Amino acid sequence: MLKYKIGEVSQILGIPIDTLRYYERRGIVAPQKDEETGYRYYDAWDFNFLIDSKWHRSFEFSLTDVEKMINEDDHAAFVDRCIKHEAELLHKIHEYQQKLKALVAHRQRISRLKSELGSLEITESPAIIFQRLRHEYKFISGDENLSSVRKWFSLMPYVNHTFAISEHADYKGISPNDYYWGFSLSPSDAIQHGIKIAPPVEYIPPLMSIHTVFSAGGRDTFISSLQTQVIDRVLQAGYKIIGFPYGNLLVRIHEDGVFTRYFEIWVPIEKASDS
């Protein structure tokens, strides 16, 4: 029977030499070793196991699974392993479908932002579940808060990167002390993902609001952009700001070599004359 050196096997099957050596250490393949030269020689029998390994791996079985399928599994164990992996693949398919849906929605939202930039649309804000992450430039500490934040962080890409302005803010001049950054979800999504709606997580109800999109540049431009592009215009239009204004970071991009951020915001309002 013809014998092939490891380099020849690598060239024929396109498997890196390091991978072939790793497969040998895992017991997936057992080439004959020349004790004098140290060379390893593979025959057709070894090729069979390498091809089987590639076949199983193409279904995304783990290397541990492949090792057991080649060296241990009887008929029942092999079928059972396949059934379990089918369930794992179905879970991955569902997960990727959800991520695709989220990505499509995000892309569509980004596509609309230029047409909404600077517009003042009166609409009801969506209810959200909000988790504060930092106040001014300081991250909020505490074991309960940090544990909750890590939970939210694990839910990406389904969460929004959200800011909320204190209802006690001085809207004639927003300061870093007046807003928080954190994460948000719709109430239904929060429940679906196991977010408990209790402190430090809070509920922001829907309110009649002005919705708009505004932009900012690099560092230390968020507050001034928010003030001039949104808050001042809302006040000049004769509205009183109430409730809990909040918004989301939509995208960070480069335009003409300049770093640019886009945000959407809902500003709860009532006519100043009504107060």
pLDDT digits (tens, 9 = 90+) for 59-115: 999 999 999 999 999 999 999 999 999 999 999 999 999 999 999 999 999 999 999
Residue 202's beta-bridge partner residues? 130
DSSP string, 209-271: EEEEEEEE-STT-HHHHHIIIIIHHHHHTTEEE-S--EEEEEEEEEETTEEEEEEEEEEEEEE
Per-residue exposure over 184-207, b if at least 16 CB sit within 10 Å of its own CB, e if not: bbebebbeeeebeeeebbbebeeb
Whole-model pTM: value is 0.81
Which residues, other chains included, contact 109 with Cβ-Cβ below 8 Å and sequence gap of 6+? Answer: 250
pLDDT digits (tens, 9 = 90+) for 167-192: 888 899 998 889 999 999 999 999 99
pLDDT in the model for residue 275: 45
pLDDT in the model for residue 147: 80
Dist. CA 213–CA 120, nearest whole Å? 9
CA trace torsion 70, 73, 76, 78 (10° rounding): -40
Please give the CATH topology (third level) of the domain spanning 4-72: Multidrug-efflux Transporter Regulator; Chain: A; Domain 2 (1.10.1660)
Inform me whether the pLDDT recorded for 197 exceeds 80.
yes
Asked if the 117-274 domain carries CATH number 3.10.20.440, the reply is no
Q: Binning pLDDT at 50, 70 and 90, where does residue 198 land?
A: confident
Dist. CA 55–CA 76, nearest whole Å? 19
Choose among 47, 45, 38: nearest CA to 10: 47
pLDDT in the model for residue 69: 95
Residue ranges per domain, the chain? 4-72, 117-274
